[in-house]
Structure 1
Amino acid sequence: MLRRLALTAVASLAALSAAAPAATAAAPLIPLPPLPVLQGDWPAARDTATRLTVTVSESGNPAADGAFELECAPAGGSHPEAQRACDLLDEAVESGDNPFVATDRNAMCTQQAGGPATARVQGTWQGEDVDAHFSRANGCEISRWNNLVPVLPTAR
């Protein structure tokens, strides 16, 4: 069986090799149109900046509630822990994780309450739009929140 398959492959290759030169000899060469390689505007470089607005309420820490601006590279804005928050987001990039992805609707989560804290993160992270909501409504959401501390404050 293997020998028959090999012989068929060799015969097919020989037939194609003989037909290719004859086909190209009969067809005249047609010049290609000029390519627009260096014409027009170049696409803008992808903006990988991080500019986020973090809005937190009912965290149990009045100093942590409110709206804060976070900018990275360099770290700045009104966020109380801008450098640590940017470091955490940089680690997420290096590991290939997106900390702003919502919990899968089919996830099995423990039914525990983590308090009334809520947060919303809006803006751009690594050039991608972000509009993420956070709560502490169940085990999955509590874990998601805790994995984003210090971007989000430690909730009590």
Structure 2
Amino acid sequence: MLRRLALTAVVSLAVLSAAAPGAAAASGPLPLPSPLPLTLPLPLPQGEDDARTRLTVTVSEAGDPSAEGIFELECAPVGGDHPAAEPACDRLAELADEGTDPFAPVPRGAMCTQQFGGPATARITGTWRARHIDAVFSRADGCEISRWNNLRPVLPGVR
């Protein structure tokens, strides 16, 4: 009896193993996850320009006391007390030229690596390209780390 049960299990496993590649070939390879969506250039209201960029950047737990705090950033002309104001404004202009919205949250359902980039958090509020901004950043997973790094030097490097 035990021998018959073992033989049935082995035969069943062999049949399933032989059928699985055929089923996969018939349905094709598994689809790859789609990349994060690209955004179109953000239109400026008529008569407005980048002079309307005025942001408050609040950073905490970045691992560097000089990178933590509340910083004001103004662009065109560059101003405020942000520690890297000119490069930050240059980066924002570059992202605008690419048609990228650096303040957009990670899309729902995005596949993100489960890595922890540290406890750093940031909140950016104000106006960018004459648009109201209220965005929160963290380093909780691969997507959030990428989002943070994409906005450097507006957001500081972290330890």
Q: TM-score, normalised by structure 1?
A: 0.70
Q: Compare the two structures and name the one with the higher helix fraction.
A: 2
Give distance in 1, aligned partners of 2:138 and 2:146: 10
Asked if 1:137 corresponds to 2:140, the answer is yes
Report deviation, 1:45. 3.5
Asked if 1:89 corresponds to 2:114, the answer is no
Which residue does the alignment assign to 1:155? 158
Tell me which stretches of 4 or more aligned residues in structure 1 moved more than 4 Å: none
**Partner secondary structure for residue 97 of structure 1:** coil
Report deviation, 1:46. 3.3
Matches within 5 A, 1:66-77: 66-77=69-80
**Alignment RMSD:** 1.4
Q: Which runs of 5 or more structure 2 residues have no equivalent in the other structure?
A: 1-44
Give distance in 2, aligned partners of 1:118 and 1:75: 24
Give distance in 1, aligned partners of 2:109 and 2:72: 33
Give distance in 1, aligned partners of 2:106 and 2:59: 19
Matches within 5 A, 1:31-110: 45-46=47-48, 48=50, 49-110=52-113
Larger Rg: 1
- Give the number of equivalent residue pairs: 114
Report deviation, 1:47. 5.6
Q: Kindly, what percent of the aligned residue pairs are identical?
A: 64
